[in-house]
Amino acid sequence: MNYFNSKYFTYKNNELYCEGMSLKDILRETGTPAYVYSQNYFIDRYNELDSAFNEIDHNIFYAVKSNFNLSVIKTFADIGGGVDVNSEGELLRALKVGVPNDKIIFSGVGKTYDEIKIALEKDLLMIKAESEEELVLINEIATILNKTARVGIRVNPDVDPKTHPYISTGLAENKFGVDVPTAIKLYTERDRFKNIDYTGIDMHIGSQITTVEPFVSAVEKLSEIFLNLKKQGIKLKHFDIGGGIGVEYHHERIFSPSEFAKALIPILKKLDCKVILEPGRYLSANAGILIAQVLYTKVNHKKNFIIVDAAMNDLIRPSIYGAYHHIQPVQINKSCKDISADIVGPVCESGDFLAKDRNIQECKRGDYLSVMSAGAYGSTMASNYNARRRPPEILVNGSSFKVIKNRESFEHLFFEEYL
């Protein structure tokens, strides 16, 4: 079998480590299933992307939806990152760890009245608007609060990001943003929106995008709008290129931050404004793993099954997107042969699998398996289905670790529920 090895998750004497920390030592304390993150991965990816764009005025706003653990948000805030939030809950998380208001952007296709109100009260850097009706509401609430709302319109450029249909967001058929003619109309109808200050323009065309071309086409379309508005005296301060940078889950060849910057900087440079990047997955996916323990193995009608204690409620990506996550043993045992098996959880659905027909070292009850690339959209999409408690999260730095979220208690499962 193949092993997913990196500077951050590596084998020492056939045993998997996160940075300088033995995973087995962590698991003795926390049990399984458990998410484990490398703090230096988060920091290194942030710095790598940041320096690739050094030539132009820019800021990285980490999309916290990919991993909103407070310690993860704080890791980025401590090195100068802003955040992109998509709900009041995400906003409160960012504020709780002390992210300054002018380093927060509020996104989302369906913000509620209360969400717009709190975004205005907290004086966030920018609210993204995704429809004419939303602009009307933002203007109305800003008028009541006697404030001027800083707004960027999310434009749907109708560009194919060539990714999974569930995470494509920049096609005409998708619910996100407004089309180009509507955006131009809204930007130029400023008299209708007296309490709105248009400070930016925004796009986010999809997620897990593996080539630069869709970004280039979309940035070209939006920069045309930007420059046309400038000619009409509407000078925007921010150009937000969204998130979406793909990562390696299974030998994908992804562009590097410098290739990304090289393709976009020539277009962005002409705009003379601050460029905002909103990556989530790029900063977090390969920072994390989910460790599970083998409960049972069995052969059914000649098919091998490895039943582990992590399930679709802990990591739903394989079930809903058919996503590939590499799975490898925490302890390599060279004397064991490789088999092909489905690696499945205890939930009562056939859709509950972490891998299908996967080549893996033969294992036995009690062995630990590591599900790789689980730092993004893993823990944040976990649920309590089957009344299962969501797993703990552990942050490793060098040869020390910290439990940054406990496994949920059983009391948690009854919380705010009444007879």
Active site residues: 348
The amino acid present at 274, given as its one-letter code, is K
State the nearest-atom distance from the C-beta of 166 to ligand LLP, in Å. 7
Residues 198-237 that bind ligand LLP (CB under 6 A): 204, 207-208
Give the helix/strand (H/E) hosting 271.
Answer: none
Q: Which residue, chain included where needed, has tokens 């319109």?
A: 153
Q: Please count the residues of this chain forming the interface with ligand LLP, following the rule CB under 6 A.
A: 21
Residues 125-164 that bind ligand LLP (CB under 6 A): none
Q: What share of the chain is helix, strand, coil (3-state, %, to 5)?
A: 35, 25, 40
Binding mask 166-195 for ligand LLP (x = CB under 6 A): -x----------------------------
State the nearest-atom distance from the C-beta of 135 to ligand LLP, in Å. 17
Does residue number 81 form part of the binding site for ligand LLP (CB under 6 A)?
no
Per CB under 6 A, the list member of 33, 152, 170, 244 interacting with ligand LLP is 244
CB 108 within 8 A of CB 115: yes
- Report phi then psi at 405, rounded to 5: -155, 130
> Whose Cβ is closer to ligand LLP: residue 63's or residue 289's?
63
The total of other beta-carbon atoms located within 10 Å of residue 218's CB is 25
Does residue number 76 form part of the binding site for ligand LLP (CB under 6 A)?
no
Give the helix/strand (H/E) hosting 89.
Answer: helix 88-96
Per CB under 6 A, the list member of 257, 280, 288, 392 interacting with ligand LLP is 280
State the nearest-atom distance from the C-beta of 109 to ligand LLP, in Å. 9
> Whose Cβ is closer to ligand LLP: residue 105's or residue 330's?
105
> What is the full DSSP assignment across 338-379?
EEEEEEE-SSSSTT-EEEEEEEEE---TT-EEEE-S-SSSSG
> Whose Cβ is closer to ligand LLP: residue 33's or residue 243's?
243
Closest by CA to 241, choosing from 170, 341, 293, is: 170
State the nearest-atom distance from the C-beta of 287 to ligand LLP, in Å. 12
Q: Which residue, chain included where needed, has tokens 């294992």?
A: 363
> Whose Cβ is closer to ligand LLP: residue 107's or residue 379's?
107
H-type helices in 189-277, by residue range?
213-231, 257-269
Q: Two tokens at 311?
A: 């399930």
Which among 23-31, 33-41, 179-187, 239-247 is the span making contact with ligand LLP, rule CB under 6 A?
239-247
Per CB under 6 A, the list member of 67, 71, 107, 313 interacting with ligand LLP is 107
Q: How far apart are CA 298 and CA 289, in angstroms?
A: 25
> Whose Cβ is closer to ligand LLP: residue 163's or residue 361's?
163
DSSP code, position 50: H
Maximum pairwise Cα distance, the chain: 75
- Report phi then psi at 91, rounded to 5: -60, -45
In order of 335, 344, 407, the CA distances from 361 in angstroms are 9, 15, 28
Does residue number 257 form part of the binding site for ligand LLP (CB under 6 A)?
no
Which among 60-68, 253-261, 360-368, 408-416 is the span making contact with ligand LLP, rule CB under 6 A?
60-68
Does residue number 84 form part of the binding site for ligand LLP (CB under 6 A)?
yes
288-300 and 34-38 beta bridge pairing: antiparallel
Per CB under 6 A, the list member of 281, 325, 326, 390 interacting with ligand LLP is 281
Angle at 78 between CA 76 and CA 82, to 5 degrees: 50
Per CB under 6 A, the list member of 18, 63, 119, 183 interacting with ligand LLP is 63
> Whose Cβ is closer to ligand LLP: residue 60's or residue 363's?
60
> Whose Cβ is closer to ligand LLP: residue 95's or residue 105's?
105
Does residue number 377 form part of the binding site for ligand LLP (CB under 6 A)?
yes
Give residues in contact with ligand LLP (CB under 6 A). Answer: 63, 65-66, 84, 107, 167, 204, 207-208, 242-245, 278-282, 317, 321, 377
